[in-house]
Amino acid sequence: MALPHAGGWPSAFRSWWQVLPEDVECLVAQLPGRGARIGEPSLTRVAPMVEALARELAEREPLPYAVVGHSFGSVLGYELTRAMERKGLPPERLAVSARQPPCFPGLPPFAHLRTDAELLDHLTDIGGMSPELRDRADLVGPSLRAIRADLEAMETHRRPRTGTAVPILALGAVDDPVVIGDRMHLWSLETSGDFAHRTFTGGHFYLYDPAHAAAVAALLVPAPAGPGPVPPSPHPSPGVRAGHR
């Protein structure tokens, strides 16, 4: 189960679709307010997002799986892992990327309260938006609404009283302008299971680089049994719908 950055669409993980073994499905969350769900109001709290994701995962065939979250997706992934544990259906591993652990809560000034211009400047600076798109109001407006909602959910999230027993793999880039890299190893405080920490280069969105995607995928799943991606699912999923490769 893959969970992209704030405002992210399933296509954020398209590089992963090409590097995973053919017998592994990449299920990517598509939250309200973007993509095929652009007409739905965005959610601004983590709990209802996780509730819907957990409900959908629990309805699927109980196969081994891992949860991968990038940036805001790490917050969702952590809480989703805890929710699935409570259902008796935990993932085999949780990979958290480019987000400090919940022992460092969001503090003011909050990014979700920035003006549109300030938020666009920030997104452009960290590589989250192409400068050529800034003048495309038809594209930027909906994207900013989804990003702002996800940022609010992330910045209002507070560390739960209990962590997880699922092993955690913490991932980050040494040149990430958003996350203090030395904090990533403190994700070890959130699990009573095994813990590993890997670092890369490539800025805040390093995880979507094909080479880094392949390196991380190799840590999470067995070696490929053969070439070729898994074809897309022809049926949309209920709840927090997911994009398939």
At 171, is the secondary structure helix, strand, or coil?
strand
> Is 71 among the residues known to form the active site?
yes
Omega into 41 within 30° of 0, i.e. cis?
A: no
> Is 74 among the residues known to form the active site?
no
Task: Kindly list the strands in the beta sheet with 195-200, ordered across the sheet, starting from the edge strand earlier in the chain.
Answer: 195-200, 168-173, 93-97, 66-70, 2-3, 27-29, 242-244
Tokens coding 172? 């980050």
At 170, is the secondary structure helix, strand, or coil?
strand
Q: How many CA atoms lie within 13 A of 224 on its CB side?
A: 15
Q: How many CA atoms lie within 13 A of 228 on its CB side?
A: 6
Q: Which member of 42, 71, 97, 143 is catalytic?
A: 71
Q: Map tokens 């940036």 to a residue.
A: 71
Q: Which member of 5, 70, 204, 212 is catalytic?
A: 204
At 165, is the secondary structure helix, strand, or coil?
coil
Helix, strand, coil percent content, the chain, rounded in steps of 5: 40, 15, 45
- d(CA 83, CA 145) in angstroms, rounded, equals 27
- d(CA 97, CA 93) in angstroms, rounded, equals 13
Residues that are catalytic: 71, 204
